[in-house]
């Protein structure tokens, strides 16, 4: 238990970016957030990109939410819910007097409508995967004005996840477009602010395409603060869109923007150095959910010939892969590529995923002797010049492809190249434009090794299904080909954890998956870039939650604190 608690604390610190003893008079005010991408739409049904997700999370509410502080699933729009004995039915009771931002009441009919929309096949919303498990959908029935019954096809611990994932949409606005089959087209980013209605803490104020987006507080928001006042405290959140990270940093320093999240380590370093920026507080919030890894081409479906065939034979030996993993200097990657603002990884699950992270996985330091021993066992040797050669005497050489879109990837590949040289391997880094690389890896399957990164949307293992299932679309190392034996085992474990009802059992199963991946090493996990934000001093209530926006997950409880000059004590972790 202590482990889990520690993991929770490590996952996201409670930050108060203001002196704890300063006058805590929550006053309404404006927060200006800078980001690179702007939302494509205000329609949760077509939410495929991060900026859209962030804005929609401020405009809409769900039945339940994970409280950022206690990290437990707590009622949001729902007042309470009850699972039936056999675990196949969830009865949800709504809070009384709920309203949308346009003043119309939110009832069970809206809940039923929302679930119907998100499960609809033609709509093909990304959230459909949460509701339709193993091909079976959820049936939702209105019991009365304030109650709904969710009937699942089979009992699963993921039932409650549905309560958190589905935003409740206003039936009075969206039913007509839905029946007419044009729901995907409404509420685009050219919508007029009064068109969009939601139950979230904010509503759309002003849209300036390409420049800014102003969200005003929703007076009909259901939540109240601990002091009984209606949330949100902030009157307005304004998003300012900038073309590049450098321009975001420039505007931060100039005072035009208050907060930027998701900074790169370079920008973060220059912000920290700008020590005279009294109004800014750059913070490293620890590991994110992202993981950067080295991918091996283990595809058995592509017809390989000649040189590629021989290289694929090398990669197909798990000992070869583990030997390479033992040579990688992860500390150098963290220190040089990310300037220390990353966390070394030996598995794809980062510590930010709380209990899902298996702390018992071995984390060996780089060891050339162990690596050499593994290679010798696998039948490799070294020739006179110190080059690694395989059984047939051919020197071991391959390319490491990396995307040029982010210098971190090419730099990581350069470090790997030098590390592998110590084993006598002639590795060469090749940098490709992002989409060209993806095309090579996922369509042509014509590559040796590649440095890639993935970002799970949430800590729950369900976010890894597409990657770990051998039939998954993101099962990069063996896309669509006949699975190896251990991949079949992983498939089985992942499916079982999806249908398990006991949370502890799910954790156990997922830990087992990680152990198999560690010993088979289809990917060599390298590092997880930390969550880096720069926020204003004087903003209180910021709590980071894994998977959401690092600073806006708790947007409804953010407030400005009067910061007396001289009071420089800050509590930050």
Partner 1 sequence: MNRRGKLALGVLSAIHAAAGFAGFLAPYEPSTQHREHALAAPTRIVLRGLTVTAVLPAPGGTSEFPVRWLRRTEDGWHLFTVDEPGKIFLLGTDSLGRDQWSRLLHGARISLFSGVLAALLAGLIGTVLGLLAGYYSGWCDRVVTQVGDIFLALPWLYLLLGARAALPLDASPLVVLSGLLAVMGIAGWPRPARLVRGMALSLRERHYVMAARGFGAGHTYILTRHILPPVWPAVAEFVCLAIPQFVMAEVTLSFLGLGLSEPAASWGTMLAAFARLDAMTGAPWLAAPAAALALVSLCYRGLLSSGTRRGGGEPERG
Partner 2 sequence: MRFLLTRALRGAGLVAAVAVLGFLMMEAAPGDFLTDLRSSPGIPTATVEQMQRDSSLDRPVWSRLVSWIRSLLSGDLGVSLIWHRPVADLVWPRACNTALLSLTGLSGAWLVGVPLAALSAARSGSWVSRAASLLVSALVALPDLLVALLVLLTAVSTRWIPVSGSLAGAGFALALIALPAVYRHTYSSMRMAMGEPFVESARAHGLPPVRVWTGHILPAAAGPLISLLGLSFSSLLSASLLVEVVLGWPGLGPLLLEAVAARDQHVVLAGVVLSAGLLAAASLLIDLLLVLCDPRIRRDGL
Chain contacts with partner 2 (rule: CB under 8 A):
38, 40-41, 48, 121-126, 128-129, 184, 188-190, 209-210, 242-244, 246-247, 250-251, 254, 405, 433-436, 438-443, 454-457, 463-467, 472-474, 476
**How far apart are the C-alpha atoms of 66 and 73, rounded to whole Å?**
4
Interface of this chain with partner 1, residues 286 to 345, rule: CB under 8 A: 329, 332, 335-337
Of the candidates 555, 556, 553, 489, the residue with the CA atom closest to the CA atom of residue 522: 489
Of the candidates 510, 447, 483, the residue with the CA atom closest to the CA atom of residue 295: 447
* Closest CB 252 distance from partner 1, rounded Å: 11
Q: Which of partner 1, partner 2, none does residue 415 bind (CB under 5 to 8 Å by kind)? A: partner 1
Residue by residue, DSSP assigns 323-359 as HHHHH--HHHIIIIISTT-EEE-SSSS-GGGGGGS-T
Nearer to partner 2, 211 or 562 (CB): 211
Asked whether the beta carbons of 428 and 400 are under 8 A apart, the reply is yes
Q: Which of partner 2, partner 1, none does residue 401 bind (CB under 5 to 8 Å by kind)? A: partner 1
Q: Which of partner 2, partner 1, none does residue 335 bind (CB under 5 to 8 Å by kind)? A: partner 1
* Closest CB 433 distance from partner 1, rounded Å: 6
CA-based end-to-end distance of the chain? 22
The answer to whether residue 530 forms part of the interface with partner 1 (CB under 8 A) is no
Q: Which stretch binds partner 1 (CB under 8 A): 50-58, 314-322, 412-420, 531-539?
A: 412-420
Nearer to partner 2, 126 or 483 (CB): 126
**How far apart are the C-alpha atoms of 117 and 97, rounded to whole Å?**
24
Nearer to partner 2, 119 or 218 (CB): 119
Question: Is the peptide bond prior to 232 cis by the omega test (within 30 degrees of 0)?
Answer: yes
C-alpha distances (whole Å) from 512 to each of 243, 321, 507, 508, 518 are: 43, 20, 9, 6, 10
* Closest CB 417 distance from partner 1, rounded Å: 7
Q: How far is CA 477 from the centre of its chain?
A: 21
Q: Which of partner 2, partner 1, none does residue 457 bind (CB under 5 to 8 Å by kind)? A: partner 2
Q: Which stretch binds partner 1 (CB under 8 A): 138-146, 161-169, 438-446, 513-521?
A: 438-446
Report the residue from 446, 501, 516, 567 that binds partner 1 according to the rule CB under 8 A: 446
Radius of gyration of the chain (CA): 25
* Angle between helical axes of 245-254 and 265-273 (0-180°, round to 10): 20
Nearer to partner 2, 431 or 501 (CB): 431
Retrieve residue 422's tokens: 């110590």
Q: Which of partner 2, partner 1, none does residue 31 bind (CB under 5 to 8 Å by kind)? A: none
Nearer to partner 1, 309 or 504 (CB): 309
* Closest CB 153 distance from partner 2, rounded Å: 18
**How far apart are the C-alpha atoms of 144 and 111, rounded to whole Å?**
11
Question: Tokens 């993981």 appear where?
Answer: 291
Backbone angles phi, psi at 11, to 5 degrees: -70, -35
Of the candidates 198, 202, 242, 239, the residue with the CA atom closest to the CA atom of residue 219: 202
User: Which residues, including other chains, have CB under 8 Å from residue 436's CB and lie 6 or more apart?
Assistant: none
Neighbours of 251 (CB within 10 A): 17
Strand pairing category for 388-389 and 397-403: unpaired
* Closest CB 368 distance from partner 1, rounded Å: 15
Report the residue from 5, 124, 250, 394 that binds partner 1 according to the rule CB under 8 A: 250
* Closest CB 455 distance from partner 2, rounded Å: 8
Q: Which of partner 1, partner 2, none does residue 189 bind (CB under 5 to 8 Å by kind)? A: partner 2
Q: Which of partner 1, partner 2, none does residue 133 bind (CB under 5 to 8 Å by kind)? A: none
Backbone angles phi, psi at 182, to 5 degrees: -120, 30
The answer to whether residue 189 forms part of the interface with partner 1 (CB under 8 A) is no
**How far apart are the C-alpha atoms of 114 and 116, rounded to whole Å?**
5
Which residues are near partner 1 by CB under 8 A?
Answer: 246, 249-250, 266-267, 269-270, 273, 329, 332, 335-337, 398-399, 401, 403-405, 407, 410-411, 413-415, 417-418, 428-433, 436, 439-440, 446-448
């Amino acid at each position: 238990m202590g482990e889990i608690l520690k993991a929770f604390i490590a996952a996201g610190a409670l930050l108060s970016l203001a002196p704890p003893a300063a006058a805590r008079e929550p006053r309404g005010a404006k927060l200006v957030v800078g980001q690179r991408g702007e939302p494509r739409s205000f329609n949760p049904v077509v939410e495929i990109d991060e900026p859209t997700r962030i804005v929609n999370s401020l405009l809409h509410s769900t039945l339940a939410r994970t409280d950022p502080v206690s990290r437990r699933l707590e009622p949001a729009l729902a007042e309470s819910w009850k699972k039936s004995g056999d675990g196949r039915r969830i009865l949800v009771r709504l809070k009384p007097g709920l309203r949308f931002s346009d003043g119309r009441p939110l009832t069970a009919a809206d809940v039923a409508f929302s679930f119907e929309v998100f499960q609809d096949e033609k709509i093909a919303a990304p959230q459909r995967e949460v509701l339709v498990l193993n091909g079976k959908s959820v049936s939702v029935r209105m019991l009365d004005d304030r109650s709904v019954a969710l009937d699942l096809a089979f009992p699963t611990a993921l039932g409650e996840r549905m309560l958190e994932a589905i935003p409740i949409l206003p039936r009075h606005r969206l039913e007509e477009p839905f029946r007419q089959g044009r729901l995907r087209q409404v509420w685009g980013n050219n919508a007029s602010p009064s068109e969009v209605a939601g139950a979230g803490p904010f509503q759309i104020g002003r849209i300036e395409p390409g420049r800014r987006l102003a969200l005003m507080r929703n007076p009909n928001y259901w939540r109240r603060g601990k002091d009984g006042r209606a949330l949100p405290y902030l009157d307005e959140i304004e998003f300012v869109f900038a073309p590049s990270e450098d321009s975001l940093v420039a505007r931060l320093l100039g005072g035009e923007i208050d907060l930027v999240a998701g900074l790169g380590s370079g920008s973060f370093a220059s912000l920290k150095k700008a020590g005279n920026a009294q109004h800014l507080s750059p913070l490293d919030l620890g590991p994110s959910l992202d993981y950067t890894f080295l991918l091996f081409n283990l595809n058995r479906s592509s017809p390989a010939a000649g040189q590629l065939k021989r290289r694929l034979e090398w990669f197909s030996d798990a000992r070869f892969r583990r030997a390479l993993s033992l040579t990688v200097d992860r500390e150098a990657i963290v220190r040089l590529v990310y300037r220390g603002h990353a966390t070394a990884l030996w598995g794809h699950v980062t510590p930010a995923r709380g209990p899902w992270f298996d702390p018992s996985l071995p984390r060996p330091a780089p060891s050339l002797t162990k690596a050499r021993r593994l290679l010798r066992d696998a039948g490799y040797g070294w020739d006179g010049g110190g080059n690694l050669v395989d059984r047939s005497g051919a020197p071991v050489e391959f390319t490491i492809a990396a995307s040029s879109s982010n210098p971190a990837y090419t730099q990581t590949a350069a470090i790997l190249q030098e590390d592998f040289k110590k084993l006598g391997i002639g590795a060469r880094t090749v940098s490709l434009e992002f989409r060209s690389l993806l095309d090579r890896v996922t369509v042509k399957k014509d590559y040796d090794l590649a440095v890639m990164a993935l970002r799970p949307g949430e800590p729950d293992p369900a976010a890894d299904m597409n990657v770990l299932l051998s039939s998954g679309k993101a099962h990069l190392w063996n896309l669509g080909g006949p699975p190896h034996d251990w991949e079949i085992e992983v498939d089985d474990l992942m499916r079982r954890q999806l249908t398990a009802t006991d949370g502890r059992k799910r954790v156990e199963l997922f830990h087992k998956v990680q152990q198999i991946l560690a010993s088979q090493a289809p990917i060599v996990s390298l590092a997880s870039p930390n969550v880096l934000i720069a926020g204003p001093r004087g903003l209180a209530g910021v709590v980071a939650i894994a998977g959401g926006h690092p600073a806006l997950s708790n947007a409804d409880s953010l407030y400005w604190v009067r910061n007396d000059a001289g009071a420089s004590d800050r509590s930050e972790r």
